[in-house]
Amino acid sequence: MAMEKTFNASEAEARIYEMWEESGAFKAGANASREETFCIMLPPPNVTGSLHVGHAFNHTIMDMLTRWKRMQGYDTLWQPGLDHAGIATQLMVEKDLAETQQPKRTELGREKFLEKVWEWKAAKGGTIEQQARRLGDSMDWSRSAFTMSGAESAPEGEKPGNFHDAVLKVFVKMYNDGLIYRGKRLVNWDPHFETAISDLEVENIEVDGHMWHFKYPLAGGETYEYVEKDEDGNVTLRETRDYISIATTRPETMLGDGAVAVHKDDERYAPIVGKLCEIPVGPKDQRRLIPIITDPYPDMDFGSGAVKITGAHDFNDYEVAKRGGIPMYNLMDTKGAMRADGKPYVEEAATAQAIANGEQDFDEAMIAAMNMVPEEYRGLDRFEARKRVVADITAEGNAVMTTQMVKDDEGEEVETTVPYVEAKKIMQPFGDRSKVVIEPMLTDQWFVDTAQIVGPALDAVKEGRTKIMPESGEKVYYHWLENIEPWCISRQLWWGHQIPVWYGPSKSNDLLLSDDNLSELNFEKRKAFCAEDKAAAETLASEYYGSAFAVSAIDSDSFVANTGQRKEAHPIGVAAGLTGDKQRIVISRDPDVLDTWFSSGLWPFGTLGWPAEDEAMKYFPGDVLVTGQDILFFWVARMMMMSQAVLEQDPFHTVYLHQLVRDAKGEKMSKTKGNVIDPLDMIDAYGADALRFSNAQMAALGGVLKISEDRIKGYRNFGTKLWNAFSFAEHYEIAYPGDAVRPKATQTLNKWIIGETGKVRETVDAAMEAYRFNDAADALYAFTWGKVCDWYLEFSKPILQGDDAAAKAETEQTLRWVLDQCLILLHPIMPFITEELWGLAANRAKMLVHADWPTYTASELVDADADREMNWVIDLIDNVRSARAQVHVPAGAKVPLLVSGLDAKGQSAWDNNHVLIQRLARIESLAHVDDFPKGCVTIPMSGGTFGIPLADLIDVAEEIARLEKTMQKLGKELGGLRGRLNNPKFVASAPDEVVAEAKANLALRENEEAQLKAAIARLEEIG
RNA sequence: GGGUGAUUAGCUCAGUUGGUAGAGCGCUUCCUUUACACGGAAGAUGUCGGGAGUUCGAGCCUCUCAUCACCCA
């Protein structure tokens, strides 16, 4: 059957992929011939995800590595899987419910909603795994993992798995080891999803904002001399003030102020430090007074230098408030509206005043319960409240005023006073999923005490156990880990791993309870029981309360309350006994789920069956992690911390980081810009191999990744070139004896290409080992196209068409072998077309995907004489062609060639290869002459000078110009060489081989120069 | 404001311990020659962002300035 004209990618790729998958070619351990394992964990895409160029890029890298190692006989696993992606998935399903007019999440309730999520996952999740197959990914699909597998909510029929076990086991272990705790801290709160989110899920975006300036009047109408000075100490302003001026971008938070802070060195405010001032908002009769304190935080040169401290709604203020013991009043509910719960404002304000005056003790819980929002603002959205607060303060005359020129009714410019409001760019935090403004909120959350587990993860990199590539990633890694914050791991969502903690009442002493000392139970203060399941939690609780009571653990569904406070776990309590006559203590489960990244942090071993004993654990620790540098902190650092915390091992020895994939102009791809390149479109148009080759080629370490359709197209052409090399073989009816064997070559030509193959194999392996995939791709491109196709195939033609049967047989065998090597070496990058071409031969021992990767070396295969000779031949052909073109010899015309002073080596090179030279340079004959005739094109070569007599054809002036141009180039080079060699310091200080090389080079160039000079002289005689 | 990286041919980018610059695409000219026009042959284009320093020698090392990008505040 004759080969098609080109490779039909769309037809062949599907067929070949199916062949691989059905034969189990990608299964863990397939083709293994040695003990060593090689394992890559796929960064699990979101279950909601679809394949984009970033995936296409890093999948190419991972697949190249995996296929390469598999061909080398390693026990290989590329582990696939999906991430349940808490927020993203919950959002997607909620949207879906809305679009299909189904009840909302909150109407469904937790259990029903989770059923919907699983249904959605079964129907629509994981399309990315199908798309990945189109790229040719050689993952072991039979092992595909899911970060929620084995969860209580998973329905029947869901693929089995035990990732949930791993998550719970790790949580309980870390809890018991004191690495996880619950506490009230300021966290990033997403008012849309009504959940805490991590620092990393917040995007800070610069937006247009305003800076308002307000007067906080001093208590009791007190006054002070306010003095401003310039840099030289000259007084620029002096006035008597009865207020302190405060600048803020968030006036609505004034209601929760606990203090005003100034810098201790700020002389302007020194007279009033320690006094009280009034928050100028809220009912006039209950204005709260707050202290003026000093703190290092305020910047004297920014705004007025005085800062209001709202500990519950700003991260900087939070630190100040903690330092100063300032109460932090939470003003907002979970939706970001002003709180509407609690006691009337009059009462709350009175309590707050007592606290500010130091007349009343307070604790965290008490402050949390207080609602400092006056009735007129309660229930308002935070942005509406802002407008109202600004309007109210301004109306009352407490806005700082400034002058401005405006046009009056007659169009005259007049000066008028207006409130001082600066229009200003401010950095505002947005939720990366919800796109709403994030509110710092003081809530109870679970945290991993990262400071305790960060050490081994830092050491892994510092001590070189884990290498980050490119190296610049290491600095970034250190910087982040050395300044790591506690990791908030609880999320107020439903889709995720529910926190395995149950709460019950605490006891006021250590004694076990008996049924008559129930009063020892404190329902206000909760006792947490952390266990892997309900039964274990009950056991823990029984041990705590004593055998006089039965304990029953329940799930708690939504935790109502619009208090602005984190929803409380309830109910807890004592119920009439159902079993015998014992009373029951009810403990209920924490409703929150874990941050998605908590479970993905366990990916390196959770996918391998852990905590069960599983043979697959032999693949842990894995080898290389390939991922975008944007998730270095999100995920990579956490895997490293968690692997150490749980298994005391590093999860991998190398981290390969790459940048975001951009469009050809280097811009981020976005739907709004319309510059999104869909990798599947590229595959449809040019085939997966072309896309993969393009990916490999742009994979320079640390490089910017710009994907360009032209480039992909170019590599499609490369595939066609390779294809045509095989149709060349078919055309010459070269037999294909199954796996080609390397011949013991006698022909210079064959020796040469075999040596070149040895060189490229070494280059490719070295590049792959160094993760320099672009070098591997470039080397293979240059070899296949530039050496094999451009020269070897052309050179082989005369032999293949000739009469020397032995030479012909040897060349055929060499050609087959060389082409096979191209297929093997290119296979990790271009798996489809190479497998297809491999299949042209019957009687293959194995599919190409399992073919043996070669180990021959350049030193084994390179024949120095053959190498020199063929390069001389190529050089001569190049020179003749170039000369011909420049003096306009018709391309088809055959010309005679003259040579003068040819040495023995040159003669032998000519004799061995004249057929090739004559064919490729279109030479009719060679004649030895002592002197070139007039009107002759000169070609200087090492070992002799060649000439083409063109008496009538030649344009003397043009030929002189050509030679002089060559002379110029040569002159530049000679100048450099002579300059260096004449410099005694160079000869003295440069390494010997560099000097020797320069000398040899100089001799060569001088020889050329002499030939050229002679040629020009001859021409000038005619001219 | 802090950090990281970039600045090399018209475009997109390589350039591994410092030894005198490369690829692909594009462009110009020629060629439909029995593997391939998704091809072949030939060719042009670079004070390697500016400046200074170290060195016999700098695209590469050091300092500085400029512009851009990304990450973190």
pLDDT computed for residue A935 by the predictor? 72
CA/C1' separation A665–B27 (Å): 20
Asked whether residue A976's C-beta has any atom of DNA/RNA strand B within 7 A, the reply is yes
Asked whether residue A199's C-beta has any atom of DNA/RNA strand B within 7 A, the reply is yes
pLDDT computed for residue A407 by the predictor? 77
Asked whether residue A765's C-beta has any atom of DNA/RNA strand B within 7 A, the reply is no
In angstroms, what CA-CA distances link A33 with A37, A70, A282, A853, A856? Answer: 10, 9, 79, 12, 18
Q: Give residue-wise pLDDT tens across range A285-303.
A: 878 888 888 887 777 777 7
Nucleotide showing the shortest C1' distance to residue A879 CA: B42
CA/C1' separation A789–B39 (Å): 12
Indicate the DSSP class of residue A437: B
Alpha-carbon distance A238 to A222, whole Å? 17
Which residues from the 306-325 window of protein chain A have CB within 7 angstroms of nucleic acid chain B?
Answer: 315
pLDDT computed for residue A667 by the predictor? 58
CA/C1' separation A846–B61 (Å): 51
Please, is A586 exposed, middle or buried when counting C-beta atoms within 10 Å of its C-beta (0-12, 13-18, 19+)? buried
pLDDT computed for residue A62 by the predictor? 92
pTM of the model: 0.83
Among residues A311, A307, A349, the alpha carbon closest in space to that of A327 is found at A311
Q: Note the strand B nucleotides within 7 A of protein beta carbons.
A: 3-6, 11-16, 19-20, 23-26, 30-36, 38-44, 55-57, 70-73
Q: Give residue-wise pLDDT tens across range A799-826.
A: 998 888 999 999 999 999 999 999 999 9
Percent share of chain A, pLDDT over 70: 93
Alpha-carbon distance A899 to A880, whole Å? 12
CA angle A538, A544, A549 (to 5 degrees): 65
Nucleotide showing the shortest C1' distance to residue A716 CA: B38
Asked whether residue A724's C-beta has any atom of DNA/RNA strand B within 7 A, the reply is yes
**Distance, first Cα to last Cα, chain A:** 61
Q: pLDDT below 50 — which residues of chain A? A: 558-571, 576-579
Alpha-carbon distance A499 to A365, whole Å? 22
Asked whether residue A360's C-beta has any atom of DNA/RNA strand B within 7 A, the reply is no
pLDDT computed for residue A20 by the predictor? 95
DSSP H/E element including A210: strand A202-217
Among residues A740, A769, A737, the alpha carbon closest in space to that of A757 is found at A740
Residues 6 or more apart in contact with residue A89 via CB below 8 angstroms: A46, A47, A48, A117, A120, A121, A495
pLDDT computed for residue A578 by the predictor? 45
pLDDT computed for residue A572 by the predictor? 54
- What ipTM was reported for this prediction? 0.92
- The tokens describing A445, both together, are 């959350």
Are A655 and A468 in contact by the 8 Å Cβ rule? The answer is yes
Query: SS3 of A144, please?
Result: coil
> What phi and psi values does residue A375 have, to the nearest 5 degrees?
-55, -40
Which residues from the 901-960 window of protein chain A have CB within 7 angstroms of nucleic acid chain B?
Answer: none
CA closest to B56 C1', residue: A986
pLDDT computed for residue A851 by the predictor? 93
Asked whether residue A993's C-beta has any atom of DNA/RNA strand B within 7 A, the reply is no
> What phi and psi values does residue A930 have, to the nearest 5 degrees?
-90, -40
CA/C1' separation A963–B43 (Å): 15
- The tokens describing A229, both together, are 């000075």
Asked whether residue A802's C-beta has any atom of DNA/RNA strand B within 7 A, the reply is no
Given phi > 0 = left and psi -120 to 50 = alpha, else beta, which region is A325? left
Residue that the structure tokens 């960060």 belong to: A454
pLDDT computed for residue A568 by the predictor? 45
Query: SS3 of A889, please?
Result: coil
Asked whether residue A815's C-beta has any atom of DNA/RNA strand B within 7 A, the reply is no
pLDDT computed for residue A666 by the predictor? 56
pLDDT computed for residue A721 by the predictor? 92
pLDDT computed for residue A565 by the predictor? 37
Asked whether residue A685's C-beta has any atom of DNA/RNA strand B within 7 A, the reply is no
Alpha-carbon distance A182 to A90, whole Å? 24
CA/C1' separation A466–B65 (Å): 37
Residue that the structure tokens 């083709």 belong to: A31
pLDDT computed for residue A822 by the predictor? 94
